[in-house]
Amino acid sequence: SEVTPQGIIDGVTSLREAGIQPKTVILDDGWQQVEPQKKTKEITSAEDESKSTNSVATKVANGILGIFAKVVSAMYETFVRKAPHNSIPNKIWSFLTRTVLKGQLWNYFDTDTDFGRQLSGFQPNEKFHDSTDGSTIGLKELVSRLKTELGVTRLFCWHALHGYWRGVSPSLGKENGFNATNVMPQLSEHLLKVEPILAWDSVSLFGVGLVPQEQDLSKFYDNLHSPLVDAGVDGVKVDVQSGVSSLGGGVGGGSRIARVYTRALEDSVSMRFASRDGGISCINCMCHSTE
């Protein structure tokens, strides 16, 4: 998610200088508005003084926490990581992740990964906006420069089937006239036997923002894809598709929710991203469950 317009331009330029002309560019995870944002804390002079005064206590506390983290990590690697579903180590760890370790896991997902975030806006994020000082360029300008100056013929943008890794923020749905609700997945025994760690990933612990109604999904994809069309984007790469089928509890089942999402997606891309040869410029990714 650290991608920037300048980084893309530099990457394409370096390939051209090496004698390789990229024709298709896929803008991966990192162009969307998401929440929560990674937190940065400004330390005030008072806090700095307090930190200096309590430096010994802080070091001791951090040392204890560091030891505890190492012990927990060693226990996980030794007893849990390869333990089969429903084994004693698996059950104990699953319980801990929903109680005493839940806060620490959220901190991990929030600081070290993007898997805990939800889509919070449909326009490109601030990295892909034109700035007055020229430090950043907008998505439309990026597409134009890639095509007119660097020989690229097609640019695709990544997004998850349901928006982002943990879906769409319910507040975003409310702002745009459709219902989005946080849903906890119901993973099948078959899936957990293949991948036991799914029981404590960010989706299983904190839920997914889902748009369960078919009529709302047309609004969702209209809002998601229209800014891309306006910027001259040629197509989309749609990821995380297999995960939606675990979110059907209370909304008609997994097959029903997967069907309505797929149908709404196909309607949108066929209308907005039809290629010159009559095909549809949509790359499907992570489509099949490992059950």
pLDDT tens digit at each of 291 positions of the chain: 789 999 999 999 999 999 999 999 999 999 999 998 765 544 444 555 545 445 655 554 555 557 777 888 888 899 998 999 999 999 999 999 999 989 988 888 888 889 999 999 999 999 999 877 777 799 999 999 999 999 999 999 999 999 999 999 999 999 999 999 999 998 888 889 988 999 999 999 999 999 999 999 999 999 999 999 999 999 999 999 988 888 888 888 888 999 999 999 999 999 999 887 778 899 999 877 655
Q: Are 29 and 3 in contact (CB under 8 A)?
A: yes
Q: pTM for the whole thing? A: 0.85
DSSP 217-235: HHHHHHHHHHHHHHTT--E
Question: Taking each helix axis from N to C terminus, what angle separates 214-230 and 254-272, rounded to the nearest 10 degrees?
Answer: 30
Provide the CB-side half-sphere exposure for 238 (13 A, CA): 26
